[in-house]
Amino acid sequence: MNRTVAILGAGPAGMEAAACLSAKGFEVWLIEEGLEVGGHLNCWDRLFPTKRPGQEVMDYLLKGLKGVNILTSSKISEITGENERYRIKILEKQDIIADAVLICTGFIVFDATRKEEYGYGIYDNVITSVDLESRFREKKEIRMKNGEIPKKIGMVHCVGSRDEKVGNIHCSKVCCVTAVKQAIELKEAIPSAQLYCFYMDLRMFGLGYEELYKESQEKWGVQFLRGRLSEAFENQDGTLRIRIEDTLTAKPLRMDLDMLVLLVGFLPSAGTRYFSELLHLQVNPNGFLQPLDEHTLIHDTVLPGIFLAGSCKGPKNVEETLADARSSVIRLESYLAKRS
């Protein structure tokens, strides 16, 4: 079948879709603005809920890319329709002519410095869940800035999500279970540490998540306190004093901690925003790309031949991302079959 598909974005969704389309005999161009394929999966150490190494999934995805044309460091400047096909102009590279385009530009994580009152980028012992994940990935010991082992660690849920003050009302869906996974990993690394999760609601929606949550309490003694962090301050010795609004008792709570981990939420990536503007695609109130119908046409856009997959449409875990990529391949195939 002599049909060409261009995939914009080489994170897990783009890689999986590229592998499936290539296996079906399509000519596939996987175009990535960054230096390498893999997206955020390159940053995750172990995946919830089983704590399997993220590298195992990456190895699986990389294996599928034989036969796929991969262009990294490639910035797309223009996409124009041309006789029911699309011409994709890439800066300083050849144009690609494609019968269909699949947008897989994913998400970015919330910039925690925007919540100045939490002290990220100001106090040394305030880190994000992404920073913590890199420390796990690089097998670094978990230490405070002064080299001491933290004895009391707080995990703050919903940072940059469900927060009208920063303009994001959506739930990022995976940060509750990420907090539970990381709290367990911190206990594995520092068994004597006391772990506190500060949450608004706990959203353990996936298979095995509730069990992980139970394990965190029963086996590891992680404590869950319902409340929203209002402020963090640094004590003279570098430890942190936090103020929590306890939403159950409506009483303010103060606590001293050695380290604070902010569970940063998901936002549309720069690429997702760029293609929404370039192609005049619909977006939802949170800026993610909106499919033509959220139940029945979950990959279609207002433009024929331009499709969506993965977390450019909203927060997803890894298995949902891969499943969405595979179903987009079925949709692309039927679209191209009708045209031939």
Residue ranges that bind ligand SF4, judged by CB under 6 A: 157-158, 161-162, 171-173, 175-176, 200-201, 203, 263, 265
CA distance 288 to 282: 9
Least distance in Å: CB of 247 to ligand SF4? 13
CA distance 233 to 145: 15
Least distance in Å: CB of 199 to ligand SF4? 7
The answer to whether 193 and 161 have CB atoms below 8 angstroms apart is no
Of the candidates 2, 54, 12, 47, the residue with the CA atom closest to the CA atom of residue 32 = 12
Tokens representing 301 are 């856009």
Least distance in Å: CB of 187 to ligand SF4? 19
Least distance in Å: CB of 125 to ligand SF4? 21
CA distance 218 to 164: 34
Of the candidates 32, 34, 23, 30, the residue with the CA atom closest to the CA atom of residue 1 = 23
Cβ-based nearer residue to ligand SF4, 93 or 228: 228
Least distance in Å: CB of 212 to ligand SF4? 13
The torsion angles phi and psi of 339, rounded to 5 degrees, stand at -85, -20
Cβ-based nearer residue to ligand SF4, 99 or 185: 185
Cβ-based nearer residue to ligand SF4, 123 or 266: 266
Cβ-based nearer residue to ligand SF4, 201 or 256: 201
Cβ-based nearer residue to ligand SF4, 3 or 157: 157
Of the candidates 275, 273, 316, the residue with the CA atom closest to the CA atom of residue 298 = 316
The answer to whether 328 and 15 have CB atoms below 8 angstroms apart is no
Cβ-based nearer residue to ligand SF4, 184 or 306: 184
Q: How far apart are the first and last CA of the chain?
A: 10
Q: Give the CB-side neighbour count of residue 162, counting CA atoms within 13 A.
A: 16
Least distance in Å: CB of 334 to ligand SF4? 34
CA distance 14 to 177: 24
Cβ-based nearer residue to ligand SF4, 65 or 130: 130
Strand, helix or coil for residue 242: strand
Least distance in Å: CB of 175 to ligand SF4? 3
